[in-house]
Structure 1
Amino acid sequence: MTYKDALIMLAVAMVVMAAALIAAATAYLARRAAASYPVALSRAAAAFAATLMVAASVTTALAALGG
């Protein structure tokens, strides 16, 4: 494994961890707002997916700028 491969793996792990933390925070805040468990879970799933989508969009934009 090259240095570049290790860096990519680390970046992917960090993005997935950030998305999971954002999803957990979203679920917690939804429960604090008196949402039911299914509603809180669906909001958390939407936040997780949105975080990954934003990360993919930023990566695509940076790749396009980089050449």
Structure 2
Amino acid sequence: MTRTTSVLLAAAVVVILALLTAAVAGKLARLQGADYPAALSRAAAAFAAALTLSTVLATCLAGLLGSGA
């Protein structure tokens, strides 16, 4: 497996996990009685937070491990 394939696969996994996080956050918001716009807002915030966290972790790991080239 090439390096490009590994990076694309990791990015796809991160996006899928962020989507799952958003879906769960939206469902929990609806179960707590929030209306649809509020639930969508919470889901969007959870999606953005998950992507931001994964970006920060990837940046930190890249800095610690070096470029690897």
When normalised by structure 1's length, the TM-score is: 0.96
Structure 1: 5+ residue stretches without partners:
none
Counterpart residue type for residue 18 of structure 1: L
Where does 1:50-65 land on structure 2 (aligned, <5 Å)?
A: 50-65=49-64
Where does 1:19-34 land on structure 2 (aligned, <5 Å)?
A: 19-34=18-33
RMSD: 0.8
Query: Secondary structure in 2 aligned to 1:16?
Result: helix
Percent of residue pairs identical: 48
CA positional deviation for 1:44: 0.1
Aligned length: 66
When normalised by structure 2's length, the TM-score is: 0.93
Structure 2: 5+ residue stretches without partners:
none
Counterpart residue type for residue 43 of structure 1: R
Structure 1 runs (4+) deviating above 4 angstroms are: none
Q: Quick one: distance in 2 between partners of 1:28 and 1:61?
A: 31
